[in-house]
């Protein structure tokens, strides 16, 4: 395995070998220890990350912004509505200009059918790393923090862990598919058996599911699909109930939300947690729709690791920036 990540785009964990992902988790754990004892890590002095957010964010924006500051650099927070992107400036020109100005371009663009294509167009014309801060396909920053959190809880050997990646009811907004898609792609590579649960019609992207099945087969693990939330929870070591939009239900957001409202019983409760293993952990990328996706008793309870999972966004973001940037 090469340790040379310099200049590589970070758009999907699928672009990296398992050994390379391990190195990211190892470095994240190292950065976490250094942060805990107040050791400075100015590994990217005076480097600039241009962060373009087409969608809202709390954790992702601030883990990148705090992370690059802690590495000795700086981030520009950019809203495309106040960029010339709003007047139609194309991704190619944006990529080439920011490549001349700084050291990485980081983007969140979750619009279904648009976001990943925009990132790939930027990457094609950028001479600095393009970092995916979530698109319609993938949320690689999140899944790296999830892998780190699972390793902290269960150790480095995660083979045989049973993980329930389940849809849950939410009304705040139609959440992207990218978190569960990144999880079903990455977890089988770590030996985990994944059960994907969702109400009929709330499918993930078929090509992603096919790739995840292939990945599971190659890794000697299982990826099973059920339309029964309880079934997924039974005996699980890790449960991740989280909403996503039914983008294959309809093109019309109102029609999708009408379908969502038929499934209010897809909520994570103490009774459902009883179905999982006694030592099981509850995870969620956050923000969670409290009282809809999950009740307070679970998300604030002893099995919940959501705050550690969110903290790990900082350490994994720093590791990914430290590895991919700095080539100029």
Beta carbon nearer to ligand CP, 135 or 193: 135
Q: Which helix (H) or strand (E) holds 151?
A: helix 140-154
Using rule CB under 6 A, residue 226 touches ligand CP: no
Angle at 237 between CA 234 and CA 240, to 5 degrees: 85
CA distances from 51 to 279, 289, 322 (A): 38, 26, 16
Using rule CB under 6 A, residue 59 touches ligand CP: yes
Residue nearest to ligand CP (CB): 60
Q: Which helix (H) or strand (E) holds 48?
A: strand 48-53
Distance in Å, CB of 57 to ligand CP, minimum: 3
Distance in Å, CB of 218 to ligand CP, minimum: 28
Distance in Å, CB of 149 to ligand CP, minimum: 12
Distance in Å, CB of 24 to ligand CP, minimum: 17
Residue 77 main-chain phi, psi, to 5 deg: -90, 120
Alpha carbon distance 45, 197 (integer Å): 45
Using rule CB under 6 A, residue 58 touches ligand CP: yes
Q: Find the binding residues for ligand CP in span 247-286 (CB under 6 A).
A: 285-286
Tokens coding 164: 């329930």
Alpha carbon distance 249, 264 (integer Å): 17
Using rule CB under 6 A, residue 66 touches ligand CP: no
Using rule CB under 6 A, residue 60 touches ligand CP: yes
Using rule CB under 6 A, residue 149 touches ligand CP: no
310 dihedral zone (left: phi>0; alpha: psi -120 to 50; beta)? alpha
Distance in Å, CB of 253 to ligand CP, minimum: 19
Contacts with ligand CP by CB under 6 A lie at 57-60, 134, 142, 285-286
């Amino acid at each position: 395995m090469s340790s040379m990540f310099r200049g590589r785009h970070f758009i999907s964990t699928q672009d990296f070998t398992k050994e390379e992902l391990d190195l990211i988790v190892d470095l994240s754990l190292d950065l976490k220890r250094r942060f805990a004892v107040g050791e400075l890590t100015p590994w990217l002095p005076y480097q600039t990350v241009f962060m373009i957010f087409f969608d809202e964010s709390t954790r992702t924006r601030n883990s990148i912004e705090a992370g690059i500051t802690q590495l000795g650099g700086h981030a520009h927070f950019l809203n495309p509505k106040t960029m010339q992107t709003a007047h139609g400036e194309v991704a190619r020109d944006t990529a080439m200009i920011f490549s001349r100005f700084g050291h990485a371009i980081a983007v969140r663009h979750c619009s279904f059918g648009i976001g990943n294509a925009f990132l790939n167009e930027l990457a094609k014309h950028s001479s600095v790393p393009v970092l995916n801060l979530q698109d319609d396909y993938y949320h690689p920053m999140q899944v790296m923090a999830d892998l780190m959190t699972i390793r902290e809880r269960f150790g480095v050997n995660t083979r045989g862990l049973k993980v329930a990646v389940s849809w849950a009811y939410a009304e705040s907004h139609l959440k992207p598919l990218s978190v569960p898609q990144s999880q079903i792609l990455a977890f089988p590579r770590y030996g985990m058996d994944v059960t994907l649960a969702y109400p009929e019609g709330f499918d993930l992207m078929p090509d992603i599911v096919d790739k995840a099945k292939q990945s599971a087969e190659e890794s000697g693990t299982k990826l099973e699909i059920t339309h029964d939330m309880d079934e997924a929870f039974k005996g699980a070591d890790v449960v991740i109930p989280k909403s996503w939009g039914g983008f294959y239900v309809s093109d019309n957001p109102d029609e999708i939300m009408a379908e969502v409202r038929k499934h209010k019983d897809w909520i994570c409760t103490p009774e459902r947690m009883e179905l999982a293993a006694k030592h099981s952990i509850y995870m969620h990328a956050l923000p969670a729709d409290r009282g809809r996706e999950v009740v307070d008793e679970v998300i604030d309870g002893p099995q919940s690791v959501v705050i550690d999972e969110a903290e790990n966004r900082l350490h994994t973001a720093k590791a990914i920036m430290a590895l991919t940037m700095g080539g100029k």
